[in-house]
Amino acid sequence: MGFDLLVRNGRLPDGSTADIAITGTTIAAIEPGIAAEAARVVDAAGKLVSAPFVDAHFHMDATLSYGSPRINESGTLLEGIALWGELKALQTKDDIVARALEYCRQAIGKGVLAIRSHVDVTDASFRTVEALLEVRDIVRDTLDLQLVAFPQDGWFRAPGAEAQVIRALDAGVDVVGGIPHFERTMADGTAAVRAACELAAERGLMVDLHCDESDDPMSRHIETLAAETIRCGLQGRTTGSHLTSMHSMDNYYVAKLLPLIAEAQVSAIPNPLINITLQGRMDSYPKRRGMTRVPELLAQGVTVAFGQDCVRDPWYPLGSGDMLDVAHMGLHVAHMTAPDEMRRAFEMVTRTPAEILGLDFGLEVGRRASLVVLDAEDPIDALRLRPARLAVISNGRVVAETTPAETRLGDLF
């Protein structure tokens, strides 16, 4: 029988070698030396074949806007939020769509085939939501864009925000968001977490909160998120993004908190490039790293994925949509340099975020035929080199190919 696409001689993340046969949009076979013909053959030549990269935390309504209308002088989260407020008033829906599509093209070229993007719903014009709903439709066949209704200026702090969250969900936004540490008081933050969980339970949706993105060790909204997850029966459907205050918390308190997060099956999404940049800005020396306690969360059995968060926007001047950059920074900041830990870091930008988003990705027969061929020997080599994505295959279609750059050395020694 003939296949539609055959990836020959790929090295799987576990080190074994196999051909991957694709029929339509599904992986039909994974085994060495498949004899059948195929309409198209991609020769992986012994290079790493992986499940696609997935970014579980991004802001597509702000991306590629760096410098507009000015740059973030202090480098802090709070100036970023203020700057985004200025940009929101100026940008048109077409601006947002154009920048978002440009970012999607860049990310697809890097093998990213799914993104969970928060979309700010506190803009009364609603143009951010309308723009990203349009982008989600345009990219649908190639990239899964999951949207979170994110009240950037606070569920209670911004007038009308709760109604805007509901309006966004009614319009088709997928996930309930929030930002409890940005409410006026801890009590308002607690109430915002409760409101988000109740709304999600009512509508059968997932929750993903910007939670405790703060150096304040007393920012403990993750505790409320875990408790509300259990109370509302949302186990396995809620996520705490950032959780940076956990870095600064008292160890005794954390010893109680970690099992609670595990019990509630709350996922965690640290964003290492951004958290290492935004946090610790008010410290002298030593300066805190500001990323949450990743190895400790993993040891408790918590699902943890690394997110990109920002690329060239009011919060971060760099970034390229490359999830290997994200994992590279993440493993450095978390001291995850043992071989098993580095392989885990690779999974934290491929398999694990796909699980959080509820996607049918993975190198297994019967799953969606979405995968990436990298110019690397194995996942650790990929993290070290962050090499070319030789071929990116989405739903059985080759959607991007890259020829590796070649260095020609002169007569050196």
Q: Which is nearer to Fe ion, 38 or 297 (CB)?
A: 297
Each residue 252-291 as x (binds Fe ion by CB under 5 A) or -, in order, gives: ----------------------------------------
Stretch that binds Fe ion, among 21-29, 308-316, 332-340, 353-361 (CB under 5 A): 308-316
Q: Which is nearer to Fe ion, 162 or 309 (CB)?
A: 309
Q: Which residue do the tokens 């080759």 mark?
A: 398
Torsion-angle region of 254 (φ positive above 0: left; ψ -120 to 50: alpha; else: beta): alpha
Q: Which is nearer to Fe ion, 55 or 375 (CB)?
A: 55
Q: Give me the helix-helix angle, 93-109 and 127-139, nearest 10°.
A: 40
Q: Which is nearer to Fe ion, 28 or 179 (CB)?
A: 179
Q: Which is nearer to Fe ion, 156 or 316 (CB)?
A: 316
Q: Which is nearer to Fe ion, 10 or 321 (CB)?
A: 321
Shortest distance, position 346 Cβ to Fe ion, whole Å: 22
In angstroms, the CA 10 to CA 82 distance is: 48
Shortest distance, position 241 Cβ to Fe ion, whole Å: 6
42 alpha-carbon distance from chain centroid:
28
Stretch that binds Fe ion, among 30-38, 291-299, 305-313, 363-371 (CB under 5 A): 305-313
In angstroms, the CA 149 to CA 169 distance is: 7
Residue nearest Fe ion by beta-carbon distance: 309
In angstroms, the CA 107 to CA 101 distance is: 10
Shortest distance, position 210 Cβ to Fe ion, whole Å: 5
Structure tokens at 86: 């200025």
Does the footprint of Fe ion cover residue 309 (CB under 5 A)? Answer: yes
Exposed/middle/buried for residue 296 (C-beta within 10 Å: 0-12, 13-18, 19+): middle
Does the footprint of Fe ion cover residue 55 (CB under 5 A)? Answer: no
Q: Are 198 and 229 in contact (CB under 8 A)?
A: no
- Binding residues for Fe ion, total number by CB under 5 A: 1
Q: Are 43 and 6 in contact (CB under 8 A)?
A: no
Report the candidate in 52, 55, 58, 60 with the shortest Cα–Cα distance to residue 111.
Answer: 52
Structure tokens at 124: 């009364």
Shortest distance, position 223 Cβ to Fe ion, whole Å: 20
Does the footprint of Fe ion cover residue 61 (CB under 5 A)? Answer: no
Shortest distance, position 307 Cβ to Fe ion, whole Å: 7
- To the query of whether residue 213 is one of the catalytic residues in this protein, the response is yes
Shortest distance, position 310 Cβ to Fe ion, whole Å: 7
Which of these is catalytic: 102, 183, 202, 213?
213
Q: 82 forms bridges with which residues in the sheet?
A: none
In angstroms, the CA 192 to CA 74 distance is: 28
Residues lying near Fe ion in the complex (CB under 5 A) are found at 309
Catalytic residues: 213
